[in-house]
Structure 1
Amino acid sequence: MVYETTWDVRFGDVDWARVLYYPRLFEHVSRIVERLMEDRAKSFDRLIEDRGVAMPVVHAEADYRSPVTIGDRVRIEVEPVLGQSSVQFNVAGFVDNPVFEATTVHAVVDADTFESRPVPDVITDDLADE
């Protein structure tokens, strides 16, 4: 399953060189992953409230392929990859051509003890490949 959306790059997203300020990429990736969870599965806050499950980020990385600047409309594709006790979100951005690739890995843990838990059915059922 691939989730698609867009991101309009604003003045606050860039640095003095007028290109994407690198921490902003992770902020937007986080928001996009949250939106995917809300749209396709269960929001992170509902997982905590309803299931006692949290999904903290345990790994994040990005590769920049081409400059992203003010006014760019970035087409985003997100592909979730389900593990036994984690979900990896592979995120790719395009402005005509690829501009970045990012990955975040979210561990599935008990919200109180932070002990590892299996990925809940509510996630596997709604994020699995169709």
Structure 2
Amino acid sequence: MTALFPPPADTSNRDYSADIARVPATPGGHLTVGRGGFSLHYLNGSLSGYDVEAVKAQAIAAGLPVIDSRCVEFGRVVKLAISGPMIAVGRNPDPEPRHAFSYAPLIVVARSYAAAGAAVYNLDLNQAAA
């Protein structure tokens, strides 16, 4: 029997450095890792895929902010994603109070995910929000 959606090809040797290089120039640029794969967010675009461990290792080594929510209970991740603000990538954050469909600084959203149990890399969670 053939699967309708075959698993993604093993691309563990892929070099993401060109995509990763676009992130630091973007305010709010970051990598998110979740149960459905990864998303690398930068100005005027993003890159998504399933080669999670390779891109995560390369992003951390490059000093990019990384939020990995795979270890967080599914219901908590859903609540954060649906009712929390989105990360302001390449745009100004909205003023407080923030809610679903509003934009917040990366550090604000990263703190919420960290409080839920997500692993956060290359961010000082004690820094002031811009």
Same fold (TM over 0.5): no
Specify which structure has the higher proportion of strand: 1
Q: Per chain length, whose mean CA-contact separation is higher, i.e. which structure has more relative contact order (CA < 8 Å, sep 6+)?
A: 1
Q: So what's the TM-score if we normalise by structure 2?
A: 0.24
